[in-house]
């Protein structure tokens, strides 16, 4: 609502927010949305939230869409932050929560990014959207594009979980399966988009999916009564949610809602695809592509991320870290979380729990710290992983 301009995340140069934009013209890096927070603060107060709808649109003043009539919604966001006392007790942890993102439309947190991206596409009068996806972004785009009466052109690896492929087809999307990875799908979209008249909504290659995902940060703070946890474990592919939360913390500090303390942010990846873990360990600013990437946690199968430097910045300045876990360990963790807490987590969510065990064993996370795990989708979308 109070969007003023976009800025390049590498060099800071301002860009026009009244036109559709992809990456920055200056550096070909992600663009961030900037707001007049002083103007927003006139109506956007902690008190004002008490009576608002239980969706991420409760944070309306710091979301980009100009007119309410352009909002394309399926009721996304404000998912429960579930206490996990039995899992916590098992590890003598003081407090542990699961942010259950499976409870979004399309059963993954990709709904957050797509509600804002598709709403902005509507504001700009765009009609044909395209996306390369490891699975859940495709399902979310298919649903929100259908809701908006737009075309969705979707490119996914051939071995994407069946549920994602069927979901896209049943939402009326144009689905192309590619023999390759999400990076190959991205190359296909880039090659064809101009001739086909598609607008590319690849994560962090348009400015507004990150705005939807940043609401994770607002929700955590609101649900913890305007405090933040000590530690956040985030299953990382493109990193949009991690980068988005980090941005939200800064906005909330400028609004005077929180102080300068930040959670320690941890990226969780799979052994078979860990570009950020490697770059973090090597002290690099950017992350090299992880060649021959493989993991059954399809949301983590992102060998190269355009927002790599933003993630690495957040991990380092929060004094967090980056952990990779083997597929077998993460899949085995599903049953542990399920049997103790009643949540059928996705492999990506299970990976966070597997990583927590690693961090506790190494003494990197202490039992007296408060910890939030992200469950970003549901095991029901990944039945193949459980012999289904
Ligand atoms: C996309 C996805 C991720 C990774 O999210 P990013 O914000 O792109 O890092 C994690 N888990 C699931 C289930 C996903 O679909
Ligand atoms: Zn730049």
pLDDT digits (tens, 9 = 90+) for 25-75: 999 999 999 999 999 999 999 999 999 999 999 999 999 999 999 999 999
Provide, rounded to the nearest whole percent, the portion of the chain with pLDDT above 70. Answer: 100
Instruction: Using the predicted structure, report yes or no on whether residue 12 has a pLDDT greater than 90.
Output: yes
**Strand-by-strand arrangement of the 14-15 sheet:** 14-15, 3-8, 31-35
Instruction: Using the predicted structure, report yes or no on whether residue 388 has a pLDDT greater than 90.
Output: no
Q: What is the pLDDT of residues 245-300, one digit of tens each?
A: 999 999 999 999 999 999 999 999 999 999 999 999 999 999 999 999 999 999 99
What average pLDDT does the segment 132-160 reach? 96
Report if pTM > 0.95: yes
**Closest Cα to atom 12 of ligand 1:** 299
Phi then psi dihedrals of residue 242, to 5 deg = -65, -45
- Cα 208 to ligand 2 centroid, rounded to whole Å: 17
pLDDT at 1: 85
Closest ligand 1 atom, residue 381 Cα: 13
Fold of domain 81-108+207-386: Rossmann fold (3.40.50)
Closest ligand 1 atom, residue 213 Cα: 7
pLDDT at 47: 96
Instruction: Using the predicted structure, report yes or no on whether residue 370 has a pLDDT greater than 80.
Output: yes
Closest CA to 371 of 102, 54, 82, 55: 82
Rounded to whole angstroms, the Cα distance separating 50 from 34 reads 25
What average pLDDT does the segment 166-184 reach? 96
Q: Are 119 and 69 in contact (CB under 8 A)?
A: no
Phi then psi dihedrals of residue 53, to 5 deg = -55, 145
Angle at alpha carbon of residue 133, lines to 130 and 137, rounded to 5°: 85
Q: Which ligand is nearest to the CA of 13?
A: 2
- Cα 156 to ligand 2 centroid, rounded to whole Å: 29
**Which tokens in the block code for residue 141?**
């785009």
Rounded to whole angstroms, the Cα distance separating 84 from 89 reads 9
Closest CA to 234 of 158, 310, 176: 310
Closest ligand 1 atom, residue 235 Cα: 10
pLDDT at 387: 83
Average pLDDT along the chain? 97
Q: Which ligand is nearest to the CA of 25?
A: 2
**Closest Cα to atom 2 of ligand 1:** 299
Closest CA to 358 of 382, 377, 376, 333: 333
3-state secondary structure of 210: helix
pLDDT at 358: 98
Instruction: Using the predicted structure, report yes or no on whether residue 332 has a pLDDT greater than 80.
Output: yes
CA distance readout (Å), 160 to 102, 125, 172, 180, 184 = 18, 31, 18, 10, 13
3-state secondary structure of 147: helix
Rounded to whole angstroms, the Cα distance separating 158 from 58 reads 37
pLDDT at 308: 98
Rounded to whole angstroms, the Cα distance separating 86 from 43 reads 40
User: Ligand 1 pocket: which of 113, 237, 334, 350 to mutate (most atoms <8 Å of CB)?
Assistant: 237
């Amino acid at each position: 609502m109070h969007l003023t301009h976009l800025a390049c995340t590498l060099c800071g140069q301002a860009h026009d927010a009244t036109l559709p934009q992809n990456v920055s013209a200056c550096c070909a890096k992600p663009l961030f949305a900037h707001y007049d927070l002083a103007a927003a603060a006139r109506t956007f107060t902690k008190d004002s939230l008490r009576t608002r709808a239980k969706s991420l649109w409760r944070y309306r003043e710091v979301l980009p869409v100009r007119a309410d009539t352009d909002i394309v919604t399926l009721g996304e966001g404000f998912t429960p932050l579930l206490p996990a006392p039995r899992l916590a007790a098992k590890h003598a942890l003081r407090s542990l929560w699961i942010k259950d993102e499976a409870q979004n439309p399309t059963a993954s947190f990709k709904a957050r990014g797509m509600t804002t991206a598709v709403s902005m596409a509507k504001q700009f009068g765009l009609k044909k959207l395209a996306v390369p996806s490891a699975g859940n972004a495709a399902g979310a785009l298919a649903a929100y594009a259908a809701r908006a009466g737009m075309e969705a052109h979707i490119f996914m690896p051939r071995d994407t979980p069946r549920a994602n492929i069927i979901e896209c087809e049943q939402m009326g999307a144009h689905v192309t399966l590619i023999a390759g990875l999400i990076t190959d799908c991205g190359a296909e979209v880039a090659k064809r988009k101009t001739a086909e008249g598609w607008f590319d909504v690849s994560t962090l290659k348009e400015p507004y999916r990150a705005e939807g995902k940043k609401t994770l940060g607002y929700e955590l703070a609101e649900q913890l009564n305007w405090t933040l946890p000590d530690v956040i474990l985030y299953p990382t592919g493109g990193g949009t949610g991690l980068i988005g939360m980090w941005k939200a913390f800064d906005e909330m500090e400028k609004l005077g809602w929180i102080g300068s303390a930040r959670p320690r942010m941890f990226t969780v990846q799979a052994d078979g695809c860990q570009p950020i873990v490697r770059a973090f360990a090597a002290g690099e600013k950017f992350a090299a592509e992880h060649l021959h990437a493989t993991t059954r946690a399809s949301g983590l199968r992102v060998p190269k991320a355009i927002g790599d430097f933003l993630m690495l910045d957040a991990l380092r300045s929060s004094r967090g870290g980056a952990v990779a876990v083997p597929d077998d360990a993460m899949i085995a963790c599903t049953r542990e979380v399920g049997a103790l807490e009643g949540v059928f987590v996705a492999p990506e969510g299970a990976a966070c729990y597997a990583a927590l065990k690693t961090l506790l064993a190494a003494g990197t996370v202490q039992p007296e710290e408060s910890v939030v795990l992200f469950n970003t989708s549901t095991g029901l979308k990944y039945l193949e992983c459980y012999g289904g």
